[in-house]
Structure 1
């Protein structure tokens, strides 16, 4: 169970004798929750008093599993646990390289609304959104604030976790063609900007075939390979 820790919620007790947890409405057993006690989250997160029955969770796209000053600067709660530190330490014991996977890339959320969950709300309020495609809300690759935020989180991982081998972006570092078919150069410039700010090794796991990557997601990663724009490796998927 991953639950929030807004003080007004976790210090309160319901008639069933249990303390509250800030979780999504859908995951609160028997909908035993109250509103207004989880201000650090979006409106879809409430203070639930039945989490002892199991199932409670906060929205995954507002959760992070490592310490990041850049993420914390948004003023929302998302830190679940220091999974990355555990992974790095265990990897070192076993002689295994550990890379931090930034799976969401330029996606803000999977939702019918650009203001669900809390991170998506923060991105929307800052004017970072480009639009919706395939059920996901995507941030704008042409917005330097978006790119600096992503690069900042990646650098936080490298700075805060000695022994981390590198960081990886994947096929969600993209702009679907539904948002525009003239964004190939925008994505190339976005990649260059991020690579210019991150001091460690950065891996990229792009879509294949390359025609789908270019025509469907505006990512001409083959040209990035030829021009050697700075990725440590390419791991096609």
Structure 2
């Protein structure tokens, strides 16, 4: 199921992507430190992030005690939540980086248990919101908070793949690279597999595949690979 997409210049394409995602400026109102440790050469801080729209995300910040406060930064996302991201987190910390393993809205610790993310996503869509757009806005706000830019992105799974690529497509200045693990080649995969709505509700964003595919988001991001 392949669709021929419009050909736009970069600015027009970003404007159309922002429109499809119902993008809005999201501010990080509070980063609440809920835990902190210094042990065996590693410093960690657990955070709850409250945004200006009343929604929240969670994250675990880590760095080696020998790494500088200004060391390069990486945000790690995983479809299974930050608890499933241990291998990538360890790799980036061992490289001397500051790392934020984040659970955005509907992922990991930030996913409601009952009735579940899919039901909430349907409700938000009925109100004119785009869950994918909210996740992208949260990621952009976290990158600005973690700074200074550019920040590296590591995404594992098709859900966080699209979130990361869309964020980098909209704000390429914020991100140095996007690394995708266990992703998909095209949004057509959602329909060809098929992928159930309840397993990846944000990816069924109205008109997204009508106008964009992953290679176009990658091109807009500029540095994704």
Tell me the TM-score range normalised by the shorter chain: 0.3 to 0.5
Relative contact order (alpha carbons < 8 A, sep ≥ 6): 1 or 2 greater?
A: 2
Instruction: Please tell me whether Structure 1 or Structure 2 has the larger radius of gyration of its CA atoms.
Output: 1
Compute the TM-score of the two structures, normalised by the length of structure 1: 0.37
